[in-house]
Amino acid sequence: MSGTGRPTAETPSAAGMRVAIAATRWNAAIVDTMVERAEAALAEAGGPPPLVVRVAGAVELPVICQQLARDHDAVVALGVVIRGGTPHFDYVCDAVTAGLTRVALDESTPVGNGVLTCDNEEQAVARSGRPGAQEDKGHEATIAAIDAAALLRDLRGQSRGGSQG
């Protein structure tokens, strides 16, 4: 687990933003903490409470995020995929990452990728944001999504003849 090079930026304002969180039901004990941390990040940024929806597993995240992206300024995808003894892990991780990227590009809506891809449960817990955890990926994915949404809002305002700041 690296964490090295993590940016130290100010928390962007999420005031007036519509944010949705799509979270998996697999590994619920870990994902529930990530959802709580994502909600806390949004509150710290001054945003209203997000819409939170649950999906069966990680493969279902992209299609649900795509629908959410149509009506929200930012979407956060949260889940945990733990390596097993077959190549299934690689297929799931590749499909989810490519799918979430495609959603963001196709819908022009930021999608914070907070899907943990870990070798074991201990690695996932260490990234979950629980007290004592080394990383807080639910919080980080939310801040990244609202930061991109704020920047897009500014850029779109400038391209429509708005002020240039």
Query: How many Cβ atoms from other residues are within 10 Å of residue 136's Cβ?
Result: 21
- Catalytic site includes residue 88: yes
**59-78 tens-digit pLDDT:** 999 999 999 999 999 999 99
Q: Which has the higher per-residue pLDDT, 94 or 7?
A: 94
Binding-site members for (2S)-2-hydroxy-3-oxobutyl phosphate are 85-86, 127
**Catalytic residue among 25, 88, 121, 158, which?**
88
- 84-106 average pLDDT score: 96
Q: Is the pTM of this model over 0.85?
A: yes
Is the distance from CB of 145 to CB of 111 less than 8 angstroms?
A: yes
pLDDT of residue 85: 87
Binding-site members are 26, 58-60, 80-82, 85-86, 113, 127
Render 79-147 in DSSP notation, one character per residue: EEEE--SSTHHHHHHHHHHHHHHHHHHHHT--EEEEEEEESSHHHHHHHBT-TT-S-BHHHHHHHHHHH
Binding-site members for 5-amino-6-(D-ribitylamino)uracil are 26, 58-60, 80-82, 113
